[in-house]
Structure 1
């Protein structure tokens, strides 16, 4: 009887250890005004390794905030924006992100524009505590003089501006860059099965606890209904979703989205309520998702097909939600 109990105890111990070994590890926190979650699968992990990874991730996120935050008045980006001179030396990391934003601007026919910052502030979507505001046509026209990537030039680590009133906002791309940075930390730590999420911007690699590819739910815009519009399996990719239902205000019976069209200086009028992009880099997906919110669905899909970009758009047509897919999105998800 004792032998049977001993065998049973040892069996339970081994099974319990296997279960523990196969658990998905999770780290959570808050960054860039969003919550973040890092999940990964690993056979064994010590408290010391968990602590080390947590410290590395938080330290890296703090570095990125210190470089790219518009909210931190002492960040590198804020100091650049507030500099009196029109030429400012910038870090390699900031140069890398700005260069990618400029590249996406060209691909999307100007839809993503990181110099839209003065317009964001004008409409009250800038710093926390700002009051939402419907500016006059004169104010918009005056502000548009300082908007456009043609107003900046980046060469050999020096950013030149046509005026010190030209300011930069990286909120459309920095979050994705941070996701990529965390993924790099995981991979350098020999972690190959993971899911990184900062405010809905994702990087996925490998498999989940069931040894299947990670599945991602794309939420329906909550203003229309609840639940998920689509469940996708991106596989070893990045996913970014942008939506105009997340931040807006209403005035005089009008709905004003936080997505600003850099050409008109006004919140977009097109009824694209959600844009989801799948690419290798979350930084790129983040920027593209914002750009595809600015353009009409037909033009976005045409650009996506030309550049082989997997894109899913949800459009509001007179209260009915219509989903559009680029060719490469259909192919990647076998729709």
Structure 2
């Protein structure tokens, strides 16, 4: 009985071994043909998160596993900029500079030096309508790190702080990497640091071997290449209406940066008057004109971001004049009674054609 049982078990084992052998051979062959793994499709992948007090997104042409490996690197770039240029963090470069005494050099990171230096250049090019020392006024009107009620400031307080605004008092030492001031000043780089962060994330993606991407931080964007079907990236320009979200026009881009500034999202109303977060450094008051939004297209996002803010402070006529003199691509949407109209610079028309409501 034991012999019969053993012989029977032996036959069953032999059958399993030889019947399964072809199946196993096929499986091994298929596995070897794929190099040990199933190839992933190359598609538009999206990374999303929060940094610098706002949201960010990165769209890039890659495989899913490749894009996932970039998330920490992207967030590291954004966290580094925020840690150095935030007005909310007490140990940031800007906070240390603002607290420093007059004529006392403050060591800062080379990135901060680079952004402040570019901010001063754009301040000069825009006749001071972009001014990185506007921080006290931004805070006074309730749009800075100090919590305030939505009220119109006292005139005496406003005039006192207005005297502390002026980029000419900043001193940048690029060799020693220090910032100092010849008069009481505080820095606010919120209108240029996000654009700079976009550029650094784009540089990081290129370093990792990617050439087709769209980087967006707080609405400021930079593009490169195309989607997998070789179609350009498309960006919708929003109608400057605080009561709804609708599309004014669409831009197609393969390379470059876009920044939009407007008065229709961050504001407060008092006695029927809207007070925008964009402060005119020359008056100390929020902008008060018919210009509702400005879209600027440039090579670098650091420049587009700063110019968009300057143009919102300037108003329509001065912006168009400066744009034509410097061959800048600018789209302006302005109020006309209860509706909106648009006007654009010659360079914008040359790049995108006529865009109208």
> How far off its partner does 1:128 sit?
6.2
DSSP 3-state at the match of 1:260: coil
Alignment match of 2:73 (pick from 25, 39, 56): 56
Separation in 1, partners of 2:107, 2:245: 47
Distance 1:169 1:202, change over 3 A: same
Tell me, in whole angstroms, the C-alpha distance in 2 between the residues paired with 1:226 and 1:134. Answer: 28
Match of 2:321 in 1: 302
2:147 equivalent in structure 1 = 129
1:23 aligns with 2:24: no
1:159 counterpart = 2:179: yes
Q: CA contact under 8 A between 2:52 and 2:79: conserved in structure 1?
A: no
The structure-2 alpha-carbon separation of the partners of 1:282 and 1:253, relative to structure 1 and needing over 3 Å to count, comes to same
Preserved contact between residue 97 and residue 180 of structure 2 (Cα < 8 Å): no
Match of 1:77 in 2: 94
**Partner residue of 2:21?**
none
1:33 aligns with 2:50: no
Gaps of 5+ in 1: 1-5
Residue by residue over 1:127-155, the C-alpha shift from the partner in whole angstroms, topping out at 9 and shown as x without a partner, is 16332231122222111111011121223
**1:67-120 per-position Cα deviation (integer Å, ceiling 9, x unaligned):** 101111221211111223533232211111011111111111111111000001
Matches of 2:224 and 2:236, distance apart in 1:
16
Give, in angstroms, the shift of residue 273 of structure 1.
1.1
CA distance in 2, matches of 1:225, 1:51: 34
Match of 2:46, SS state, is: strand
Q: Mark the structure with the bigger radius of gyration.
A: 2
Unaligned runs of 5+ in 2: 1-25
**SS at the partner of 1:114?**
coil
Q: Partners in 2 of 1:74 and 1:51 — Cα distance?
A: 31
CA distance in structure 2 between the aligned counterparts of 1:89 and 1:23, rounded to whole angstroms: 44
Instruction: Tell me the C-alpha RMSD between the 2 structures.
Output: 2.0
Q: What is the CA-CA distance between 1:58 and the residue it aligns to?
A: 1.1
Distance 2:146 2:249 in 1: 32
Q: Which residue is 2:234 aligned to? A: 215
Measured in 1, the distance between the counterparts of 2:186 and 2:171 equals: 13
Q: Distance in 1 between matches of 2:139 and 2:205?
A: 36
Pairs aligned (count): 318
Q: TM-score, normalised by structure 1?
A: 0.90
1:116 to 134, 159, 173: 134
The separation in 1 between residues aligned to 2:77 and 2:209, in whole angstroms, is 18
Q: Could you tell me how far apart the structure 2 residues matched to 1:57 and 1:234 are? A: 22
More displaced stretch, 220-229 vs 298-307? 220-229
Counterparts of 1:225 and 1:31 in 2: how far apart (Å)? 25
Alignment check: 8 A CA contact 1:70 1:169 kept: yes
Deviation at 1:196, TM superposition (A): 0.5
1:267, distance to aligned residue in structure 2 (A): 0.5
Q: Does 1:188 align with 2:212?
A: no
